Chain A
Amino acid sequence: MKAYHLFRKDLFSEIRNRYAINSLAMFIIVTISVILFSVGEETISDYLSGGLYWVVVFFTGMSGLARVFVSEEERGTTLTLQLIARPETVLSGKLIFNLVLTLAMNIVITFLYSALFPAFVIKSLMLFFITFILGTLGIAISSTIIAAIISKAGSKGTLYPVLSFPILLPLILILINLTKISMDGTSFGEAIMDVLFLASYDVVMLSVSYLLFDFIWKD
């Protein structure tokens, strides 16, 4: 409950300022436009479009998911949070926010992408849906803990993708593979091993985040 109220606080703050939403929306449009312009008249194969999809998702995430912790540090309100909530509550609240944000952003990206890239056709919708949900979860979880780390460092903007990429790499690889086979029409049953890997990545990163957050949060 307390974490939910922290999420609401961030949500209201966001509605008042509209910093993150604006920049994320613009970023999605810019990234997709850049791809479309560079590709020009050439056609993109289906597998390639699947891979590029997750590229767009990754970079969009990098541009907006650090805000939850960085904005508190930059404004000096980290101390305030330390005085009103336990560390787990803070992490939970920020996780909820990033989850909602990642979900919203991924839904937008998926719609724009399917509309603009004709080769992006998914045959096994069920498999893709599960991949989408678990992938969104994984990105949100990993991005949040890394955001907490870089919020305490300098040069946060460039540091964020540098630290996030190695951690997200196994996730991105599974996601690209699963997208590929869901385009092929593989059934959910056949892909169960990969889906289990995906789910276990989410679980492991979630546990590790909670275990280590205390060290990052306290001085």
Chain B
Amino acid sequence: MIWKIILFLLMSYVIIAGISFPIVEKPEAWYHFPLIPGLGENAKIIFFHVPTAWITVLAFLMSTIFSIKYLRKKDLDDDGKSQTALELGMVFCILATVTGAVWAKFTWGEYWSWDPRQTSIFALLLIYGALFALRSAVENEEKRATLSAVYSIIAFVTVPFFVFIMPRIMKGLHPGSADDTNVGPVVNFKMNSNMYLVFVLSVVAFTILYFWMWRVGSRSLNIKEKLLKNYR
């Protein structure tokens, strides 16, 4: 219960602060955000875009880890946890892609330009899609769990290749990629402490939200499976 209250408070603050606090050239009051050259007013999307991207990666990681746990222990509950992480991860991946595309339109003029980070999130979306397609194509529970685990591991292994190849092949538009001399607001601390606070709180709030949804989701999935077995 305490977590739900904390989550509510954090999220409220993040949403209100993130959207309504003004961006000014010379921040003076505690609710002013500095102007970052090249970003301007739409910098605020950072409070929502970055956390969703972070969560989708975390979800994929968790899904893979629980999949591997299943391979070792053959406990279908682990597969349920893995599946829930997958479902949530897909939702957040879509959110990250969409918020990213919207930001891209306002900042660079195009919704999609195959910038390395955009391509990476797209690749992650493809992997999620593939895992969903695979799961719906296998009837037998254990086979389904085993095959998704194997595919998750294979997909996970290709990730480092992506991370290394992309910058070599494509020029980056993202703040903080190969071509940009402006290293980016997060790394360079161009955000002042107000903005930074809201940003960190946003990441924390989204993470709590994710874990809460994951716990509820995986528990209900596992209970549902246990109940259904009596009717099969």
A130 to chain B, nearest CB (A): 17
**Main SS class of interface, B:** helix
Distance of A154 Cα from B169 Cα, bound (Å): 37
Distance of A205 Cα from B134 Cα, bound (Å): 20
Which residues in B have their C-beta under 8 angstroms from that of A197? 161, 164-165
* A–B pairs, 14, beta carbons within 8 Å: A145-B154, A153-B137, A163-B133, A166-B126, A170-B158, A174-B165, A174-B169, A193-B168, A194-B168, A197-B161, A197-B165, A204-B161, A208-B153, A216-B147
Range class of the B interface residue count: 20 to 34
A162 CB within 8 Å of chain B: yes
Interface residues of B (CB under 8 A from A): 71, 123, 126-127, 129-130, 133-134, 137-139, 143, 146-147, 149-151, 153-155, 157-158, 161-162, 164-166, 168-169
Which residues in B have their C-beta under 8 angstroms from that of A204? 157, 161
Distance of A145 Cα from B134 Cα, bound (Å): 14
Chain B residue at minimal CB-CB distance from A193 = B168
Range class of the A interface residue count: 20 to 34
- Render A153-168 as a binary contact track against B, CB cut-off 8 A, 1 for contact: 1110001001101110
Chain B residue at minimal CB-CB distance from A170 = B161
Chain B residue at minimal CB-CB distance from A201 = B161
Distance of A154 Cα from B138 Cα, bound (Å): 6
Question: B165 to A159, Cβ gap below 8 A?
Answer: no
Q: Which single member of A154, A174, A219 contacts B139 (CB below 8 Å)? A: A154
Q: Which single member of A155, A166, A177, A216 contacts B158 (CB below 8 Å)? A: A166
Distance of A197 Cα from B169 Cα, bound (Å): 13
Distance of A21 Cα from B126 Cα, bound (Å): 30
Q: Which single member of B129, B134, B154 contacts A167 (CB below 8 Å)? A: B154
Taking A155-B137, A163-B151, A177-B169 as given, write out 19 further A-B residue pairs in contact, using a Cβ cutoff of 8 Å, ordered by the A residue number.
Answer: A149-B134, A153-B137, A154-B138, A159-B137, A162-B129, A166-B123, A166-B126, A166-B158, A167-B154, A169-B162, A170-B165, A173-B169, A193-B168, A197-B161, A197-B164, A208-B153, A208-B154, A212-B150, A215-B71
